[in-house]
Amino acid sequence: MSQRTEVRRAIEVERQAIDVRQAIGVVVSNDWVNDRYKHMTVCVPGLAQVSQPGQFFHLLCGVASAGPLLRRPMSVYKMDPLRNEIHFLYHVKGEGTQLLAQRQGGDPLDLVGPLGQGFTLNSRWHRVLVVARGVGMATLAPLVAVARRREMAVDVILSARTPRDILGAREFAAMGAHVFPVTDEDGSSDLATLQSRVEALVDQGQTDALFTCGSARLTRMLRDVAIRRGLPGQVAVEEHMACGIGMCQGCTRVFRRDGKDVHLRVCQEGPVFPLEEVVYP
């Protein structure tokens, strides 16, 4: 076999393994939930049924010819298989999300996904503790929904700058989760206070696992608590990414796996990783 044929075959195998799904959805609604975050619902047949909590879509926020060139990754906030709808909750921040914020009902949206490895819930667990910072709650929301459907007890700590930035408290309470909002404004989100609260919840509630997203500081604290208490944990990691399908390696980070430093792609091996594997300088 010639070298060129071998290369072509390797590319074909890689393409089959990736199974990328690109679709053009239709925006159903795109509404402000407060002065910084928007909630977008997109109708796109067949994708809500196969999306898992913790997975994400890579969204083309502008127009391909006008940029921005790079798609922006957004977690699945809710999936509604009966209506063929995927929901996103996003912080309107820079060029990409500002363009996304301009979409109106009826507009098309080009999306690729669902991508990455989502959260796993062990059927032996009875109680889980979820700690979200800011818009990290969007990534954790479908996990809470699935855990509650499986009748697990769920404690949710929602941390944000101000009470106005606390999202999802009512929604999680309606699912039957125990919700603990904490804010920078009143000092209740301070790391030491939060650590005591986490440890108290772990002690009282017989927590089986910890989940987090949205803050490196919180992740580090939870990783240390998880290691000290011998608890499993998972974190959804955020990293700038270009292709989102593992080819460009742009989102590679160092993780600590089996006692060794390993380079893993957030888009492909993640974005959800075991808590004990995260490494911060």
Rule CB under 6 A: which residues touch ligand FAD?
A: 56, 70, 72-75, 89-91, 93-97, 135, 138-139, 238-242, 271
Tell me the residue nearest to ligand FAD as measured from the CB: 94
- Tell me the pairing of strands 85-91 and 78-80: antiparallel
**The Cα angle at residue 271 between residues 92 and 28, in degrees rounded to 5:** 45
Nearer Cβ to ligand FAD, position 28 or 138? 138
Q: Residue 182 has which token pair?
A: 């904490």
Nearer Cβ to ligand FAD, position 54 or 153? 54
Nearer Cβ to ligand FAD, position 70 or 158? 70
Nearer Cβ to ligand FAD, position 69 or 82? 69
Nearer Cβ to ligand FAD, position 77 or 180? 77
What minimum distance in Å lies between the beta carbon of 178 and ligand FAD?
23
CA quadruple 267, 268, 272, 277: dihedral positive or negative?
Answer: negative
What minimum distance in Å lies between the beta carbon of 61 and ligand FAD?
7
What minimum distance in Å lies between the beta carbon of 138 and ligand FAD?
4
- Strand stretches in the chain, DSSP E: 22-32, 37-43, 56-59, 72-75, 78-80, 85-91, 108-115, 127-133, 153-160, 178-183, 209-213, 233-236, 252-257, 260-265, 272-274
Nearer Cβ to ligand FAD, position 118 or 197? 118
Phi, psi dihedrals of residue 265, rounded to the nearest 5°: -90, 125
What minimum distance in Å lies between the beta carbon of 69 and ligand FAD?
9
- Tell me the pairing of strands 233-236 and 178-183: unpaired
25/19 Cα distance (integer angstroms): 18
The burial of 260, by beta-carbon neighbours within 10 Å (0-12 exposed, 13-18 middle, 19 or more buried), is given as: exposed
What minimum distance in Å lies between the beta carbon of 279 and ligand FAD?
17
Closest by Cα among 108, 113, 215 to 161: 215
What minimum distance in Å lies between the beta carbon of 211 and ligand FAD?
15
